[in-house]
Structure 1
Amino acid sequence: MRWAAPGSFGLDLVQLTRPVLRDLRDQTGETACLYVRGGGFRTVVALAETRHVVMRLFMVGMVMVLHAGSAGKVFMAYDPAARQAAVSQGLTRLTPRTTVGIDLLDKQLEEVRDLGYAASFEERDSGAASISAPVFGMSGELVAVLGIGAPTQRLGPTDVGRLAPAVQAAAERASHQLGFRPALKDG
């Protein structure tokens, strides 16, 4: 409700990024999602669904943990409060590939910061993969995460080099739409 309320930042966030999500979907062929964080969870607030018959299912309002999946890893990598919230609620194993060790998680988050994106394979659901990147607001704070999700038949580790730049570029466009200007933050 908060994200759909007229005049709220959430509605602006969704409206301003909707064209970016559609472009990312069209460019990659996969479902593009926008997430916001609440505590130790992330919620899909907007999406542009793939046109493939076989798809990874996402719905607006879908809530997921932070420690499993690329979008959650981006939240934790760029927001220490997100990491703390995820760790304090417990790193539960959802699949055999879910990260549940704090040292490994911290190493993964460092890699996400170094790369500027996260990719995950079967961490939250078997047969599912995703690539996500940060979306920054006007003053440089992390306000959302944008990413794509797909079945592992179409998105595997060998596809990351081809698709991650598109996800990063879309997240940068979304950040720009929200008023983020990296030169202003650095200067």
Structure 2
Amino acid sequence: MSAAPAVPKTTGNTLLVLGKITAILDAFSLTRPVLTLGDIREATDLPMSTVQRLVANLAGQGFLDREGDAYRIGLKMAYWAAPATRGKAMLDVISPLLADLRDTVGETACFFTAEQNHRVCVAMAETRHALRREMHVGKILPLHAGSASRVLLAWDPDLLASLLRNPLESITDFTITESKALQAAVRQTRTDGFAITTGERESGASGLSAPVFDASAAVLGAVTISGPTFRMSEEVCRGWVEPLLQAAERMTRMVGGRFPGEPGAPA
């Protein structure tokens, strides 16, 4: 009977190095996709000599890509994300991340996809606050109102063109009903990378949304934080942009997606 293969022991030094590598990779985000060595040192609080050594090793292995004097996450990481989720339904991947986002901000987190000229809630993690906006999986909503709609239209010009063939219904006093105004709002969303709206679909309600992309860099859906405006003022929403974009980035990577403009992806 042959002996079982020996399992290499994990030393404390190995775990320490892995922790430092994790800290370096965690420094990158959707809002800060390209970092200099100085940016990484500031974000991780590691000695510059350590940052230089580990970043050079990570770049050499393809985990980071160099851009001039700066770095971004390497495409090799995206290749690893794809087999991690292959065979799992998209919502099985996204739902736990919605729960994480809900726990971070305290408000309901949803995922919307476009269906013709409407949007549909396909997954959600509901707030634990007693007072909440009514939302449920399967709810169908108009595609011209709200932050999720803004995001879905911003990265799908054909969908926007289709929507604008018909009059835009007024739902509240703040609903955009003019084609040019909606086009301008959509352009701003694409520039910003996210959307914040108040009272467009429901009076006294606010939302902020960001896009999630598939493997072809096409918009897959919109991840949204929503709740009553008295808890989600403009200032509060602005403060939640970073965790929202981080969630959108994690979802994109976990489903094997890529962002427009990345190497190998459409602009």
TM-score, with length taken from structure 1: 0.90
TM-score, with length taken from structure 2: 0.64
**Counterpart-to-counterpart distance in 1, 2:96 and 2:251:** 9
* Counterpart amino acid of residue 83 in structure 1: L
- Which of residues 66, 73, 93 is equivalent to 1:16? 93
Q: Deviations over 1:56-93 (max 9, x none)?
A: 11100000011100000101111012212322232110
2:255 equivalent to 1:178:
yes
Measured after TM superposition, the shift of residue 160 of structure 1 is 2.3
**Counterpart-to-counterpart distance in 1, 2:146 and 2:183:** 14
State how 1:39-118 maps to structure 2 within 5 Å: 39-118=116-195
Distance 1:54 1:185, change over 3 A: farther
8 Å contact kept, 1:140–1:185: no
8 Å contact kept, 2:258–2:265: no
**Counterpart-to-counterpart distance in 2, 1:177 and 1:108:** 29
**Counterpart-to-counterpart distance in 2, 1:109 and 1:185:** 25
- Which of residues 170, 181, 197 is equivalent to 1:120? 197
8 Å contact kept, 2:113–2:122: yes
**Counterpart-to-counterpart distance in 1, 2:233 and 2:162:** 29
**Counterpart-to-counterpart distance in 2, 1:88 and 1:77:** 16
2:214 equivalent to 1:137:
yes
2:107 equivalent to 1:30:
yes
Q: Percent identity?
A: 34
Instruction: Choose 1 or 2 for highest CA Rg.
Output: 2
Q: CA RMSD in A?
A: 1.6
Count of aligned pairs: 178
**Counterpart-to-counterpart distance in 2, 1:138 and 1:186:** 8
**Counterpart-to-counterpart distance in 2, 1:185 and 1:48:** 33
Q: Mind listing any 5+ residue stretches in structure 1 that lack a counterpart?
A: 1-8
SS for the counterpart of 1:17 is: helix
**Counterpart-to-counterpart distance in 2, 1:13 and 1:30:** 22
Measured after TM superposition, the shift of residue 164 of structure 1 is 1.3
Structure possessing the higher relative contact order (Cα contacts under 8 Å, 6 or more residues apart): 1
SS for the counterpart of 1:155 is: coil
Measured after TM superposition, the shift of residue 158 of structure 1 is 1.4
Detail structure 1 runs of 4+ shifted over 2 Å in the superposition. Answer: 181-187
